[in-house]
Homo-oligomer: A and B are copies of this chain.
């Protein structure tokens, strides 16, 4: 399978899993059909949209690719059919969610590099692409964004971006480089869950007590 096709399929899969997490969050808060669709949509596509708007890459990507609307619709159908069992499936979804996290990081990084932005900015845009969909989902459902608190999530995205950058410095083959970076993101996330790793904090308050 050519690299471009593989990336395309992973992109759609990542989008689907992100959309499912949005639809589930919306339905659990008793949003209606359109609300569930919109939350699924912004969760899946909000990160890339934020990146595109900040870069001035407009009309944003999903406006030129209707299939993303279909992916969000598919997420709703899957939620309708399988929700009671989705809590079990979630563990399997975790792997796709992590693949999506890694892939979106790299796609964001690449897009920034193509636009000739600097490395630190490109790393930042990689993280934005990967995590801001979830941030917007949490804002629209009136919650403190989980991503900032509970999981090694944005840090895994940063690690994947850094690794991909190093690989490109060492002129590693692009496909291999992307594969390794995504695997490391999945590995970090899996180990964080397995070993109960918590995100590091700035240890501010401690000195006060």
Contact = CB atoms under 8 A, between A and B. Distances in A.
Interface string A181-209: 00000000000000000111111110110
B148 A66 contact: no
Contacts of A33: 155, 199-202
Contacts of A35: 145, 147-149, 154, 199
Interface stretch (A1-9, A10-18, A115-123): A115-123
Contacts of A204: 24, 27-28, 79-80, 83-84
Contacts of A168: none
A201 B34 contact: no
A38 interface: yes
A141 B142 contact: no
A139 B132 CA distance: 14
A95 interface: no
A207 to B, nearest CB: 5
The 5 closest A-B pairs by CB, nearest first: A56-B58, A35-B148, A32-B199, A34-B154, A83-B204
A128 to B, nearest CB: 9
A30 B149 contact: yes
Contacts of A28: 204-205
B32 A66 contact: no
Contact of A34 (B58, B63, B199, B207): B199
Interface stretch (A47-55, A97-105, A172-180): A47-55
